[in-house]
Chain A
């Protein structure tokens, strides 16, 4: 075998690619078990109702039924930020689709049939669906039903800041400078409202969970979850187990995008498993059930800015996040998008209020970007309006206002390694847009025009939460990397293997990255916030360096030299005296009779992170790193029909250092496509009773191959001093600017601002008509 360097900066083939193209990758639905039971879940038909009675006795008429549970069988509450959620509804239901009872039977048909034998008596109560209304902030509707009357009694994380006697499970505030004064001194002030409705992650793999109470006393769960350790700790707390009794095994994941970060239906499957004789219980969701399991937030945003001499001097915003019936991570979405809410601009006077609000809709959770696509939609459409009013080219306006290295952020952070301007310059150059000279729309005849629009975005990751990793080099020379970051398609296992190859010189073909398993792979906080490369990657890099140091020590012993003289070459350890290469296995064996494993340990344990002040949102180091992205869209608009054709998206992301440039481009292409989907096509529709109308792929359309424009991914590299090899995260940032760039291109042609996404032809046409009517009235 010829040796090939496949370390950092190279683009080797994805290490899990071969099993995937051969159809051998095992997802939860592919795992096989003896004595498996299948679960089915009965859900509420009402968005808000009291449960007067549940009679499950009928299920035993069905042959093959082995267990049934209702909310009355399972104590305790769980939740990511606020522990407000029962495993199954108890005395009341809070959304249409909430689990009320569940059955396990020898096959799915028996379990489904048994559900029809359960009688539930409900008394419907008043529901509330609009987050602004639910927050009690609508002037005409001040009295609203409360979803959680004892909100203040719930256990909660410090990041959840509930408002007593309301549906607001968190109110995040940011205060900087004096907005009122700046507004009064501005050349002009512009106030607008935007809205992004609920949309869905749509992983092609629907959720699947298998749980088993093993005879030896451990709970073993196989699930498509992004964060095995968060799940382990939640399940341990709920079911009275210690952490080392809960084994979470993560097989190959069929996409995540945030929908699989936090515990959702796992506790319910465990509750069923507890009622069986140590049998594994499996719940595989249908697509419709998956639409109701968890969703993205909807959001209403108010934004007001003051501009003086071409600079944004003040910005005031309010966001009403529809987090659904239970908080999940809603308070964190409000907070983490909150401190980035004013956009990647240097603005000295900022006032922000972000409310995470309960509504009688399905639970909303993290979605690639953690609120950033929503707020980018608002502030980037708004930025074009500001530029227009200021009479400045929108690209130039952004270049004049964006935040740069050394600037102080809205929370008081001194920014480092900022690639925002670099991203804008990269897309501008690629698209042929000279700053200050925006190309005029091209008249294509018959009411069709081609135009360019720009948008940019930033995203913080999260605080310096820890990650650990080990690199185990076996005598044979093969390597096992133990890390709990979940590869859900972003390619993190390949990145980790490349880091090990870089540090040890061992070829990629000899390196295997384990599937995360809390009995095997060490702690990692979450696979979220684009933190995998940065945090888990740092842990893997440190572990590989540690392993290599040990090899150098053995080399010194065997070769009779100093450790630092020992180098690797083409996968072998070089004897500095003779220049001969020795395999790692032979080296270990010569150094230690009988052989050992070399185990390198590494941790990401950065210091210096700060919280954010409860009243002012100020904090000097709220996130371990920042990501930056900018897009220019080339769009053809038909002004007669409102039809849009996105021709090209130039998309730049500041990745710090591209560990694997192909992986980076994949993240950009996929992120842009997702951004175009949620911004131009997708919306979850609910009827007046809060029941989902389009929970399937023929009524809820995500982009197909024919919908996607040409995407030109551009990598900008402003190295981060703390990132491994200078790398930053990447996964989320490309989602934000794509749709706003399109909307801004369309605006240049129509002059009609669309406030609400998705920007579908009918919406555009409607806004246009309304705009024309308004013009006539004026």
Chain B
């Protein structure tokens, strides 16, 4: 996509394993680039200032809030959104665990919550409940009380470790 404006820059990045090259305004937020340019609507806007975590994606494997990162800052990086976790439309084990453990209610925080958990499990495959709580402390949920979310992440780690 071309966007001809003075304050634009070309960025090259991988989004959900697909190579992209776009010329984007320098004031375009990564969240808007993902939602509006690439139609990745799992990225939710809950606060716009990095407090709620609903827009969390993985940037080079690390969970970040995409509403306070500019698209140009993601140049050269690899981004994964929730859409990228489900290979060929098949749910990942983590998504299945969220579903099976009842960790989903209104679902608005769910994409960001799962991405944070995915980032944590990539870094720390056997987290304790305390470590999970700390990792998702930046993802606000008003429905669940978090218990079932923590259970879902613990369960995923357990299943993965059994497979290893």
Interface residues of A (CB under 8 A from B): 13-14, 16-27, 29-30, 201-206, 252-255, 257, 284, 286-287, 488-491, 662-663, 665-666, 669-670, 672-674, 696-698, 702-706, 708, 710-711
Contact = CB atoms under 8 A, between A and B. Distances in A.
A705 B99 contact: no
Which residue, of B83, B108, B109, has the highest number of chain A Cβ atoms within 10 A? B108
Nearest to B47: A287
B124 interface: no
A708 B51 contact: no
A33 to B, nearest CB: 13
Interface in B137-164: 137-150
Given A704-B140, A705-B132, A705-B137, A21 B114 contact: yes
Interface in B76-102: 81-83, 86, 89, 91, 95-96, 98-100, 102
A18 B99 contact: yes
A202 B125 CA distance: 32
A710 to B, nearest CB: 8
Which residue, of A20, A663, A708, has the highest number of chain B Cβ atoms within 10 A? A20
Given A26-B41, A204-B54, A21 B48 contact: no
B106 A30 contact: no
A730 B52 CA distance: 27
A252 B105 CA distance: 11
A10 B94 CA distance: 24
B147 A252 contact: no
B51 A254 contact: no
B51 A25 contact: no
B52 to A, nearest CB: 6
Contacts of B66: none
B157 to A, nearest CB: 16
A669 B47 contact: no
30 contacts: A14-B99, A17-B99, A17-B107, A21-B91, A21-B99, A22-B82, A22-B86, A203-B108, A204-B52, A204-B54, A204-B108, A204-B142, A205-B106, A252-B107, A254-B44, A287-B46, A287-B49, A489-B107, A673-B144, A674-B142, A696-B51, A697-B52, A698-B49, A704-B136, A704-B139, A704-B140, A705-B136, A705-B137, A706-B134, A711-B145
Contact of A22 (B95, B105, B133, B150): B95
A286 B48 contact: yes
Given A23-B83, A255-B108, A489-B105, A706 B147 contact: no
Which residue, of B51, B111, B141, B142, has the highest number of chain A Cβ atoms within 10 A? B142
Given A27-B108, A204-B108, A706-B133, A697 B140 contact: yes
A672 B142 CA distance: 11
Contacts of B142: 201-204, 255, 257, 670, 674, 702
A23 B106 contact: no
B108 A205 contact: yes
Interface of B: 40-42, 44-49, 51-52, 54, 81-83, 86, 89, 91, 95-96, 98-100, 102, 104-111, 114, 132-134, 136-150
A670 B149 contact: no
A18 B114 CA distance: 13
Given A205-B108, A254-B108, A697-B47, A21 B41 contact: no
A672 B143 CA distance: 10
Contact of A666 (B102, B109, B139): B102
Contacts, number: 162
Contacts of A708: 145-147
Contacts of B81: 23
B106 A253 contact: yes
A262 B105 CA distance: 22
Given A21-B91, A257-B142, A705 B105 contact: no
Nearest to B152: A21
A706 B104 contact: no
A253 to B, nearest CB: 6
A706 B137 contact: yes
A23 B82 contact: yes
A705 B51 contact: no
B141 A20 contact: no
Given A13-B99, A672-B145, A21 B110 contact: yes
A666 B100 contact: no
For the complex of A and B, list the 4 residue pairs with the smallest distance between their C-beta atoms, beginning with the closest. Answer: A23-B42, A489-B106, A254-B108, A20-B107
B1 to A, nearest CB: 16
A287 B140 contact: no
A708 B98 CA distance: 19
A26 B47 CA distance: 18
Which residue, of B41, B81, B132, B150, has the highest number of chain A Cβ atoms within 10 A? B41
A204 B106 contact: yes
A188 to B, nearest CB: 39
Contacts of A203: 106, 108, 142
Contacts of A491: 105
Contacts of A669: 144-145, 147-148
Given A204-B141, A696-B51, A697-B52, A255 B106 contact: yes
Contacts of B147: 669, 708, 710-711
A670 B145 contact: yes
A673 B110 contact: no
Contact of B105 (A23, A670, A698): A670
Contacts of B46: 204-206, 254, 287
Contacts of B40: 23
Which residue, of B52, B107, B140, B144, has the highest number of chain A Cβ atoms within 10 A? B107
B41 A30 contact: yes
A704 B137 contact: yes
B107 A25 contact: yes
Nearest to B102: A662
Contacts of A30: 41
A711 B40 CA distance: 35
A20 B145 contact: no
A713 to B, nearest CB: 9
Contacts of B42: 22-24
Contacts of B51: 287, 696-698
A686 B51 CA distance: 21
Contacts of B44: 27, 29, 204-205, 254
A226 B8 CA distance: 42
Contacts of B133: 705-706
A365 to B, nearest CB: 16
A607 B108 CA distance: 38
B71 to A, nearest CB: 16
Given A27-B44, A711-B145, 17 more contacts: A20-B107, A22-B42, A26-B41, A203-B106, A203-B108, A204-B52, A204-B54, A255-B106, A255-B108, A287-B46, A489-B107, A704-B137, A705-B136, A705-B139, A705-B146, A708-B147, A711-B147
